[in-house]
Every structure is written in C-alpha cells, then in structure tokens.
Homo-oligomer: A and B are copies of this chain.
C-alpha cells in the first residue's frame, strides 16, 4: 500500500511523539493540569491572615518540544495558571559531546528544583527552592550528562517576565554523581553554586527572600526579608538514596546577600540557609525513577484500568528555612512537617494528599502555627 511511503514513527508518551523515519525530525505536544484544593488555618490570632478555603489551577501548561535536523532540539511551554508565564523556551544543540542551550531554562541548582513538578513527591517543593528564588532565567548553558554523572553551567540574565534596561548577570553551575546506580538502587550526590547581581535594580527591585506557610501555594508568607539584596551567592549540597520502593532525599543550601548601605538592616551581608529531608515508600512495589541527576516519571506496576489499584506512595518531609538575620519585621525561621499520600492511577495521572504544619520562630509572627490540608489532581501528556 502507499502507506509504505508514510514518513512517520510514533511513540506514545501520554501524547504521541512523532518522528520522521530517519530521526531527523521529532515533534510532541506536551502539557500538564494540576488542580488543587487547600484548607489551612493561618493562626489569625498571631498572623492576622484569614483561613484558606480555596481551589486553584496550580499549573495549566501547554507546549511543544521537537527536533529539527537531527541536532537542534527545542522546547517551548507556557503556564496559563495565575498571571501566566513562559516556562521553558529554548533551543539546544546536541551535536557535540557537550549540549549547548540558548533561551530560558532552569539555572542548574538543586535536585528538588531540577525534578519536574510532575515528579516531585510533595505538592510543593522544599522551602529553599522558593526562598532562594531558584527559577528559569534567560541565558546560555553547557551541560554534559552521562548515566552516572552530570555537569552543567550557565550564564543568565533575568526571567522573561522581568524586564529591565540592565538586568545584571547570574552565573550557576552544578555537578552530580551516582556512584551506585543499579536497577533498584541509587545513591545520588550533588553540589551547586549560583551567583547573582541585580543590575539596575531600580527597575526590578532588590532581591527578596521569603517562603509561604506550611509549604502550601495558597497560604501567606510569614518569613520574609523584604527587598534587600543587590547581589547574592548561593551554594548547596544534595543527596538522594533509592533502595527499591524506599527513598530518602535531602538538601542543604546557604545564601549570602549583599544589602545596600541605605537599607536599614542589622547586618549588610546576612546569611540565610535551609534544608530538608524527605522519605517516601511505595506500598505497591514501584520505585522512584532516577535519570541523569534528577528524578523522572514513576512507572506504575498495575494501573487502575488493568484490575490493579495503581501505585500508592506514602511520604514525609521535614523542611526548614532560616531567614532570621537582619532583624527585620518578618525576619524569622520556618520549620515545617509534611505528610503525603500519592495515588498514581497510571503513569500519567496521580492524586495527592498533603497534611502540613509550620511553626514560625522569630519576627512579628513568632510562635504562629499554620496547619492545613491540600489535595491535588494531576494529569500530564
């Protein structure tokens, strides 16, 4: 038949990934929906903030990725949630041992940050990733990835949403190793660094360090340095262990900010830090899937459709962020416990339940106790 002339291959990855027979071209539409319900008590007596009882489109993304002429990969995705933002928007040359990336992508920092929001264990990432502004920025990067180790570095301007005449410059780098990497066992170690200067900060404001209560997305922020930093340096250590269905993951990060002389702050080089340790276990035998320095999609043994019950994962995390230095109104520390249950109906669908509690130590919100429950329904393609 004349189908023999059809220059097409397909792999089903949620949505179909199409490619030409010679592999010169690839194309896939991609996206994700995450819808949340959050109910939280924000300790009104201390914080003055009312309870949260609300739904949210946490992420609603649509995008594409592809390859043109063998070696040039591209990815473009937009998140329609909230005010909307461009997420990945880059092209990448893959014809050399070292990949060259141009455009907007994540600065190479933190295992938790590098792992897609589709594959993180809790509804929100650990406090250090938000408090220290880990995000996508527009720049140029080099990366080298082998099964057992990776190295990446980049030089960046700002995130696409931040416009300024003089943007300042960010430099970031990360190395990881997996000295143990077998079918069911992984030991991951990594370290990363980031240095930012704020350029013409009259346009964009000084850097600000802060975090939402109880690691929810709809709660308010009770530790918050305000806008203080004209430049900062960040370094972090990360580790993860996978032992079959059991997994441990932890990170430590420390940031030193340079505060201009005209800001009323008790120190002009405050140092902030934070860390988390999380553990998780699949009751149904699956494992967290490690891939070149980050965690990837979980493969469900018995999807709900095939007479199975899907994958059930239980998890806990202790998460702390210390923004105390400087003696400002909301300079303080937040310590958070999280308990999570994830039900993966299949490889592309999961329901999540998080029960979280934060305590604030220091600042005007000292002693506040924020407790809440979050629910998420997630699908990606």
Contacts and interface: CB of A to CB of B under 8 A. Distances in A.
A303 interface: yes
A347 interface: yes
Given A14-B66, A91-B379, A76 B165 contact: no
A125 to B, nearest CB: 21
A35 B103 contact: yes
B7 A6 contact: no
Nearest to A39: B166
Given A35-B104, A57-B160, A50 B349 contact: no
B33 A90 contact: yes
A95 interface: yes
B68 A86 contact: no
A281 interface: no
A55 interface: yes
A18 interface: yes
A51 B304 contact: no
30 contacts: A6-B6, A8-B8, A12-B24, A15-B64, A31-B64, A33-B76, A33-B103, A35-B102, A35-B138, A37-B157, A52-B165, A53-B165, A53-B167, A54-B163, A54-B166, A55-B157, A56-B138, A62-B76, A68-B379, A69-B303, A69-B305, A69-B345, A69-B348, A69-B349, A71-B305, A72-B346, A74-B379, A74-B381, A84-B84, A165-B218
Contacts of A6: 3, 6, 8-10
Contacts of A166: 50-54
A89 interface: yes
Nearest to A57: B160
Contacts of A55: 138-139, 156-158, 167
| The 7 A-B residue pairs with the shortest CB-CB distance in the complex, in nearest-first order | A55-B157, A69-B346, A1-B4, A55-B138, A102-B377, A68-B348, A91-B379
Nearest to A53: B166
Contacts of A147: none
A165 B49 CA distance: 9
Contacts of A200: 50
Interface in A27-65: 27, 29, 31, 33, 35, 37, 49-57, 60, 62-64
Contact of A86 (B57, B95, B347): B57
A93 interface: yes
Give chain A's interface secondary structure class: strand
Contacts of A205: none
A22 B5 CA distance: 16
Interface string A79-105: 011001010011101010000001110
Contact of A60 (B72, B76, B345): B76
A144 interface: no
A180 interface: no
Given A91-B377, A157-B54, A62 B60 contact: no
A149 interface: no
A20 interface: yes
